[in-house]
Copies of this chain bind each other. A is one copy, B any other.
Amino acid sequence: MDKIVDNPHDDGYHRLRAAIVAGDLQPNERLVELDLSERLGIGRTAIRTALVRLESEGLVERERHRGAKVRLVDEQEAGEILQARAVLEGLAARQAALRATDADIAELRRIVAGLRTLLDAGDLLGASDEQAVLHRTVLELSGHATAHRLILALNSQIVRFQYRTILVPGRPERSHEEHSAIVDAIAARDPEAAEAAMRHHLANVAGTLPARR
């Protein structure tokens, strides 16, 4: 949809990145430049620059004369990433509370209501997606381009972990309460509470992480 900041000049980068976050390319799988070049129908040069970019985003590792492979974040690093996300999204929630218009708040409430509906229908995966929408909306409301960019980069590194936390027993209800609290704080234009609620929420997500997996 919306790219935060991006030159349109390589779509090869986007294709490769998509393949990685979607899991089409397994971790530790060797990413041979010529291979990818043929498979995606892009020149080796483009693949090369894409890999350089992805490396500095932390999505792949490259070793001299040994090729690239998608980087595997271990459990400890995933914890670190979630901690960093927590403080950054806390900042975003704070800013959102300061800037949200009435229309913005209505939009947030609409999303929360949708979440409730999905949960009642037992659609956990759908709810998970809608939660992501909520987070993204808060981020956009914050108007904080820097935090937005950092958080997106962090997120792409832990997609593999992300997706299943909602399947932990009891988690959906807790999660929904936490999200409601975040929206309530923003609606009340209370930046302190908004930041606290967001951090509380992500701390809980981090807490359920080691349980799974």
Hey, which bits of chain A sit against chain B, CB under 8 A? 7-9, 48-49, 52-53, 55-57, 62-64, 77, 80-81, 83-84, 87-88, 90-91, 144-147, 150, 154
| Most central of A49, A62, A77 by chain B CB within 10 Å | A49
In the assembly, what is the distance between CA of A127 and CA of B55, in Å? 36
Partner of A52, one of B49, B88, B154: B49
User: If the complex has contacts A56-B56, A87-B91, A88-B84, are A64 and B146 also in contact, measured as CB distance less than 8 A?
Assistant: no
Q: What's the number of copies of this chain in the assembled complex? A: 2
In the assembly, what is the distance between CA of A145 and CA of B52, in Å? 20
In the assembly, what is the distance between CA of A189 and CA of B92, in Å? 28
In the assembly, what is the distance between CA of A147 and CA of B154, in Å? 11
18 CB-based A-B contacts, threshold 8 Å? A48-B49, A49-B52, A52-B53, A53-B55, A56-B57, A80-B147, A83-B144, A83-B146, A83-B147, A84-B88, A84-B91, A84-B146, A84-B147, A87-B88, A87-B90, A88-B88, A146-B154, A150-B150
In the assembly, what is the distance between CA of A62 and CA of B7, in Å? 8
14 new A-B contacts at CB < 8 Å, known A49-B49, A84-B146: A8-B64, A49-B52, A52-B53, A53-B56, A56-B57, A77-B146, A80-B144, A80-B145, A80-B147, A83-B144, A84-B91, A84-B144, A84-B147, A84-B150
